[in-house]
Structure 1
Amino acid sequence: MELFNVAVHQVQQLTEHCAESKLLLTAAVLAPLSIAFFIFTFVAPRNAPPSLWDPIPYVFNTIQFAFNNERFMVRVANILQNSRIAKFHLVSTPVFLVSGPENIQTLFARSHKVGNETIFLENVFPALYRMSKDEKQRFADDKSGRGRQPAPGTEHMPAHQRYWHGYEHVHSEYLSRAQHQRPMAEQFQTFIAAALDKHFPPGLAAKPETVSVMDFCRRHVAEAAVKTLLGPRIFELFPDVLDAFWEFDSNICLITLALPKWLFPGPYRAQERFYTIIRKYLAATYTDDAFDSVAAEADQDGWNPKSGARVSRELVKWLKTSGFQDEVAVGALAMLMFAMTSNTIPIVMWMMIEITRDPSLLCAVRDEVAQAYISQPGKDAASRTLDLDKLSTMPFLQSVFAEVLRLHMNFNLMRNVNEPIAVEGFTLPRGSMLQAPMKVAHYDETVWGAPGHAAAQFWAERHIKYEETADADGSVRKVPVFAMAGRPSSFFPFGGGQQICPGRHLAKHEIFTVIALLVSKFEIEPLEWTNTDGSPSLRAARGDPRFSGIGAMPPDRDLKMRWTRIG
């Protein structure tokens, strides 16, 4: 799944010898940079793509990619302005950065020439799923691919040994298909509506309250999402689960890099704290005596309070029946929770910020949401629920959603080159890596720019067009219609191809539900920007650079709002 593709290929080779790297770094810094410049300028082969300048060959770019990704991506954007392919090294691995719709389609193609299996085997599975060498080897030995049909030459592989397909099937089947997704979306609506009623109760006594966007999203929205996924019992057992999760979330990149524990103990402590909670939750929910009965619930499409959504039960069941150790199930559920929370919450924050800062946009979204409510027969107006299918088609909501994703999702799509391939007239060798920088594609002025609205700026109507329609009385009026301003190959916040994020539809339902409930139940007025420590900020929020290259970049400033309950 694309959300896990933040792992940096072969950086482990550098960090396992951190002491030696420090010595090399010190020596190299003292050496004249002109020597390196001379080598790269005059010795590099002329039939190769342009290279990012690397003043300390194999070291400088690797360190900047991992630890100052925002600055690294500025350099990448600059070089890709003049060439649709560029090269650098992550330690010893040649990496080819590409832009342009045709080149990005190379990453999405259903071909065995490129894939992300090596990234999982070398980084994700050992660091985040905590697989043993033997367990990783099962995946390494499986050459049949992720698809329903095994790859040519592997047709006789037993189904239970097709680990890539089994892993992919659990996530795509039980997160993407409507019959499994709908109970989750409906349950999320129940949870978030209940949270609003509890913490901001309706009634004549409702008074204005000052609310932090960050605090609301990281607490109440995240709690509703986790309850939907794993059931409310996890909060009964471990009230501090969200604190542990957000600490883990802020350290996941360093954990994935497999930095030496003795040098960077903090990220590992954060991981162990969070994984201990998941481990105890699993032990309490899937005991040996209860496993069969809980796993049997996997035959039901609905949500249940003991184990949450079916995807969670199916994931545990598949790992158990496939013979993986319990610790792998811990990592798998931890990463499922990460995938369904880490990117969703920052996008909710940005949508709240952008909609409430523009009174006309807030009115337009509120009018749309009013059309999506369903009244329950024989019940009062307070019992109305949202028609999620109708809500997801509202043009302004969709346009704001697409614009926020375009501006604030930021990671490189990564694929290993399994067989030599031709890109931009160059042959990329086996063992190299192909990356498509999302920020370059999403900020392309030729694709997204419009008069008076630069690609780097938020514009709520960038993906809106107006069409004429005739009313019943024959009068003609213009109505807004959602229409993406760019081509799909220039917009890929959820990845693409066979590895596209399977939870994208559920994430959209959850995000739209939060916004719909807020604009319909509250009068909302933005008050002031603050720093994360609560002190006043002199500027508006930008994407937090600490999350560059990881996924959704949350705002680096908080917005305080005044809410008054009206419904």
Structure 2
Amino acid sequence: MFVYVFKYFFGIPERVVSVYRADDSGPFPKPYLGSNVPAEDRIDYITHHGFLRALGGPGLLPSTRRYMNAFAARMQEKSFSEEWTEMPDFSNFFRDVVGSSLVECLYGPTMLRLNPEFMQDLWGFDGSVPWLARGLPSFIKPSAYKPRQSCVGQLKRWYEYAREHFDESSISPDGDGDPYWGSNLMRYRQEKLLAVKNHDDDSLARMDLGLAWGAVGNTIPCAMFSAFHIFKDRDLLRRVRDDVEGSFGGQHLLDIDPNKLIKEPLLSSVYAEVLRLHVKTYFMVSSPHTDVHLGRWVLPKGRIGLMNAGISHMDNSFWNEFGGEHPVTSFWSDRFIIDPADSQSGPVAPHVRESPDWVEPRPDGGKERMDNKPFFSMDGTEGSWFPYGGGHSICPGRFLAKSVILFTCALLARDYDIEMLSDNVEVTTWRFGLGVGGLKHSLPFRIRKRST
């Protein structure tokens, strides 16, 4: 899968792709038995180790903080007043404000300052991916290749500048961020990936384009749909505001603990439901060394299994539709909330829970709750809710993505009023299998600052 994506999506040349093809050592610290790949060429492990540390390990909190500050600053720059401001497209608003903030938290402010067209080209590349995925040659569809080449050139320009200006004293007190490379992840990739056989600035820029696209391609539309559903439903908006203000009071949102925010039950349920409803991504699985027995079936070693999250996410024989009131094809903000006083609540259908194989979920990781309040739960959804894939290859950016989506919605709900100005909301299927489908048409809206 990596070889195909690198070759066709990002145009990485064969001399570099061959290194990935030859790496049979696996993604774990200890190489697979029988592998003789030199440590410096274990590209699968090197890449994933960097992602795991930066996006789910010690780099997660600093990255989240940088996003929070960047997003709040961009909203401040918009200078929205208590009077309504009409804007032409809700989706483009999120691409601009949320997308730029997310890229900045990983790549730093210098990259975007040097390359003010980068975000426009990145979204141009996103729109071209379905063409590139089909292996369409450039002479047939040259417009599909232009944004990619532009992004690669801009990233290489940034490399030159950052190398000239960065030194160790530039690193922020958190030990992760810096104004030139942006984050420890980017410094790690410069050091480790350029040391791998056949890699150079051009190939690394193409992989860093992949990282940027991977960061925004699904996170931003998921954030947009989360906010859309919250602001479309006045009662849901009131509940979200009550929860945010009840938990954090008059505390500035930039001062809150992100770990506390992601535990908010209602916001977490909205997040999980948006991913269930809107993510239609294909995932490939393979066992390189042994057969895998799947009940009556066998996945032979070396063969590929293909799963689509959208199929499982729309399985009405599994998901709780609350007596038909909330079909799987519709958004239900409380689908992932269990109310101890309501036996019909929760994400899994009651008849599934009555199965002899069902294990009763226990909130808070098995700790008994004493308050008997409704709580967010995904227990029992394993194998049916997998917008990020699964196993060791599960998306390493999922924790940052959740923090981005929840903080974005919390800040907008608490500090702004937003109204959609059109009911023409249709999701395109053009990106089916690649992630979240975007809006088919522009969605005009208006926004104003809430009075204090």
Task: Give the alignment's TM-score, normalised by structure 2.
Answer: 0.85
> Counterpart in 2 of 1:23?
none
Cα displacement string for residues 338-378 of structure 1 (whole angstroms, at most 9, x for unaligned residues)? 11111111001111111111111101111111144376xxx
Cα distance in structure 2, aligned partners of 1:466 and 1:553:
32
CA drift at 1:184: 1.1
- The answer to whether the aligner puts 1:347 opposite 2:222 as a matched pair is yes
CA drift at 1:250: 0.7
Matches within 5 A, 1:117-516: 119-121=1-3, 123-154=4-35, 158-177=38-57, 179-201=58-80, 206-211=82-87, 212-287=89-164, 293=167, 301-323=175-197, 324-373=199-248, 385-416=255-286, 418=288, 421-423=292-294, 425-426=296-297, 432-450=303-321, 451=323, 452-467=325-340, 479-484=373-378, 486-516=380-410
Contact 1:448 1:485 survives alignment (8 Å): no
Cα distance in structure 1, aligned partners of 2:294 and 2:253:
57
- Inter-CA distance 136–373: structure 2 relative to 1 (3 Å threshold): same
> Counterpart in 1 of 2:445?
561
The one-letter code of the counterpart of 1:139 is Y
Contact 2:50 2:185 survives alignment (8 Å): yes
Cα distance in structure 2, aligned partners of 1:242 and 1:496:
29
> Counterpart in 1 of 2:434?
550
Please say which structure displays the higher CA radius of gyration. Answer: 1
Cα displacement string for residues 165-214 of structure 1 (whole angstroms, at most 9, x for unaligned residues)? 1121111121110x211111111111111111121346xxx312224321
The one-letter code of the counterpart of 1:447 is F
> Counterpart in 2 of 1:31?
none
CA drift at 1:269: 1.8
User: Percent of pairs identical after alignment?
Assistant: 26
Cα distance in structure 2, aligned partners of 1:241 and 1:158:
36
- Inter-CA distance 285–258: structure 2 relative to 1 (3 Å threshold): farther
CA drift at 1:445: 0.5
- Inter-CA distance 166–453: structure 2 relative to 1 (3 Å threshold): same
Number of aligned positions between the proteins: 418
- Inter-CA distance 443–479: structure 2 relative to 1 (3 Å threshold): same
CA drift at 1:299: 11
Contact 1:174 1:311 survives alignment (8 Å): yes
CA drift at 1:128: 4.2
Question: SS of the counterpart of 2:448?
Answer: strand
Cα distance in structure 2, aligned partners of 1:147 and 1:382:
41
> Counterpart in 2 of 1:43?
none
Question: SS of the counterpart of 1:410?
Answer: coil
Cα distance in structure 1, aligned partners of 2:449 and 2:260:
24
Cα distance in structure 1, aligned partners of 2:445 and 2:104:
26
Task: Give the alignment's TM-score, normalised by structure 1.
Answer: 0.68
Structure 1 portions without partners, runs of 5+: 1-118, 376-380, 469-475, 530-536
CA drift at 1:284: 2.0
* Cα RMSD after superposing both structures: 2.7
Question: SS of the counterpart of 1:249?
Answer: helix
